[in-house]
Structure 1
């Protein structure tokens, strides 16, 4: 007899992007099953992985009963995200990349985040993770362990991270998200896709909540066999911190760059 789930989000689709990391995907899905978190549906979008991973994907599909979307040509993260949005059939969408490993605290945070999004239409996004070195700098306490993310163009808000209210890290949103903020940019690098959506989110007055104890919800894991495909900016940031004048210059450059990009694209 199947166990009764601890959390059954029966109005939420779990959306997962995948590219050549089938072992990571297996760990993610198994962990969610172990935590007894269930969804209305699970959809995996594969961005033209090599045959070894495609074969594994089909095996995992039988094991975990998810919908698999494939493409004959690599189109980038944006195309995968758009495909997931277009195929989802529930009211809410939880997005997780395949190389995140859920922690024991996830179920409770998901349940609270879903309730906040469901009962209060002012929120467009509920975020559940950020890298330790990229925690959002301007937050205001809200409730149930969540904080509101605050964006101000004023130079008094002098961290470039203020422009990243949106994030591709695990988050919950409504099905009509891309109707309000536009589709994800396709056929570009993943970080460009994310940065473009960040600007669209701010330009359209998006509002987001962020779980304060987010480091308890996920671990972000990459192995040598299944490495990350985007640049790890955190490693550069940590190295520069040891050289304070250079680090300060780097932060000012990022602030000017992001401000200029925001203004000309507003």
Structure 2
């Protein structure tokens, strides 16, 4: 069954993983998902990857937005979103694959966004559940945030993982920070999303709609400091305390409802 998602642009950020991008596009195609527009924002990939993108461009009918040199995640997101002309944007990085459950749930999300003008995003994937949720409907929950909430996971009120958003996102929450590492870019948008009173839903079964795939041939290009992955209990405790102080300091000027 084909699903035509009018008013939606599929925005994909890409860097040196053209085979992964093709797999993503074929997965949407096999599920019968058709979008009004598809934008692939490439961050100065190697020539062989750019050549492959141009090879498959006509087959999948996407607009390719390029840059002569790598400028980082922030620039890639900004120029990609700038190219979107539809009311809604489905943002997906190239290493994610939609499951067979996605089309129906995405239709639900789109209907909800049309009905609820206060909503800015609907999130479909996460490494773990957002800590403060209020059941909404159709398997979605409203994300909540208050200054006294103790779980530092509250900072991820926004996430770069697959989500539906209104295409005026940059006008409302500001542009992504450029010239810094990708994890810092995401963090700054998290803070801005809170400060500008963003509203969003979170899909409860957050591993059911997308699968993240990183092959040996095309591994993830995101690198993080070793401290964030260390399992030593003392370091974990110190990191927790640091995050509580840092996150609350960064968002203390946010205005909460």
Shorter-chain TM-score range: over 0.9
- Alpha-carbon deviations, 1:131-150, whole Å to 9, x = none? 1xx32111111111100111
Q: How does 1:106-121 map to 2 (within 5 A)?
A: 106-121=102-117
Match of 1:144 in 2: 138
Structure 1 residues 24-35: aligned runs within 5 Å: 24-35=20-31
Question: What is the distance in 2 between the residues matched to 1:231 and 1:119?
Answer: 39
Cα deviation 1:154-199 (Å, max 9, x = unaligned): 1xx2221101100000011112111111111112211111111111
Shift of residue 122, structure 1, vs aligned partner:
1.3
1:217 to 199, 209, 213: 209
| Cα pair 1:159 1:251 within 8 Å, conserved | no
Q: Which residue of 2 aligns with 1:163?
A: 155
Deviation at 1:229, TM superposition (A): 1.7
The answer on 1:201 being equivalent to 2:197 is no
Superimposed CA distance per residue, residues 84-134 of structure 1 (whole angstroms, 9 cap, x where no aligned partner): 221111110000000001111111110011111111111111000001xx3
CA contact (8 A) 2:196 2:254 kept: no
CA distance in 2, matches of 1:232, 1:146: 30
Gaps of 5+ in 1: none
What's the CA shift string for 1:215-244, capped at 9, x where partnerless?
11111111222111223689955x52xx54
Matches of 1:164 and 1:88, distance apart in 2? 24
Name the CA distance, whole Å, in 2 between partners of 1:137 and 1:244.
22
Q: How does 1:114-263 map to 2 (within 5 A)?
A: 114-131=110-127, 134-154=128-148, 157-231=149-223, 236-237=228-229, 240=231, 243-263=232-252
The alignment partner of 1:229 has SS state of coil
RMSD of aligned alpha carbons: 1.9
- Normalised by the length of structure 2, the TM-score is 0.93
CA contact (8 A) 1:139 1:150 kept: yes
Deviations 1:37-71 (Å, cap 9, x if unpaired)? 11000000100000110111111212211000110
- Distance in 2, matches of 1:223 and 1:235, equals 24
Structure 1 residue ranges (4+ consecutive) displaced by more than 6 angstroms after TM superposition = none
Task: Give the length in aligned residue pairs.
Answer: 255
Pick from 30, 40, 43 the counterpart of residue 39 of structure 2.
Answer: 43
Aligned equivalent of 2:100: 104
Q: Which runs of 5+ in 2 are unaligned?
A: none
- Say if 1:33 and 1:236 are closer, same or farther in 2 by CA, change over 3 A: same
Matched position secondary structure for 1:164 = helix
